[in-house]
Amino acid sequence: MVYEKDNDMMFAILRLATPGRGIREIGAPCSNGSDDLLWSPNSKAFFINGGCGSAIAGFVVSVYLVDSANIDEGLDLTQEAMHDMVKSFPPCKALNHDPNVCKAMQTDKEYYNMSGVDWLEDSSGIVVMSEVPPTSLYGGIMGEVMGYELEVPSGKILRRLDAKQFKMKWQKSMAWKFRIPDPPEYE
C-alpha cells in the first residue's frame, strides 16, 4: 500500500496486479496511515480497515472483490450491522446521552466503529467488530461491542455475537486482547 497526501488528507492506494486485467489502483475511502488489509482464504477478495475520524471514532471496513470491474469501489457491508447496533443499544435511552447525538446515531453509521477481524473459512463472509466509540458523548452505551459474521457481497448478518461470544470465537484473529465492556446503562 502506498500513502499519498492531498490537502492534509491521507489516501491509501493499493496497486493490484491480476491476470488478464493488468495493474489496477484501488484507493481506500479513508486513511489514517495505519490501514490493515486482509485477503480472503480463496484470494478472490480482500478487506481494508481504515479510518477517517479521530483516534477513537470513524473506523470503517471496505470489501473489494478482485474480479469486479469496479474494484476501485469498495463495498460497505455494515448497514445491517449498524441497524442491529441501534436496536441492541438504543442511543436515546442511554444514561447521560446527548439528545442531538443520539438522534443522529439512529440513522448514521458514521457514529459506529466497524473493523474487519477475519474472513469466514470458506470466504463467504467477513467477521466484523462493531463498537460504540468509547467516549462519554455516547453516555451509558459508550464502548459497547457486538460481533457480526456478514455475508459477502450482500452484507446480510449470518451470525450475531454478543461481546462474550465474539471474544470466545474470534480472539484468535485479533492483534489485541479484546476486553468485554461493562453492561450498558440506560435511563
Question: Distances in Å between the alpha carbon of 43 and those of 65, 84, 106, 116, 123?
Answer: 9, 29, 35, 16, 9
Q: Where are the domains of the chain?
A: 2-173
**pLDDT for position 144:** 97
> How far is Cα 47 from Cα 71, in angstroms, rounded to an integer?
11
Surface-to-core class of residue 121, CB atoms within 10 Å of its CB (0-12 exposed, 13-18 middle, 19+ buried): exposed
**Does a cis peptide bond (omega within 30 degrees of 0) precede residue 183?**
no
pLDDT in tens, the chain (187 residues): 555 566 666 666 778 887 777 788 877 656 555 678 899 999 999 998 876 665 566 678 889 998 877 776 788 899 999 999 999 999 999 999 988 888 888 887 677 889 999 999 999 999 999 999 888 889 999 999 999 999 999 999 999 999 999 999 999 999 889 999 999 999 9
> How far is Cα 24 from Cα 73, in angstroms, rounded to an integer?
12
- Phi and psi at 88, nearest 5°, equal -70, -35
pTM (predicted TM-score) = 0.88
CB 127 within 8 Å of CB 173: yes
**pLDDT for position 17:** 81
**pLDDT for position 28:** 65
The angle subtended at Cα 84 by Cα 80 and Cα 86, nearest 5°, is: 120
**pLDDT for position 109:** 67
Pick the closest to residue 152 from 52, 72, 77, 87 (CA basis). Answer: 77
**pLDDT for position 52:** 66
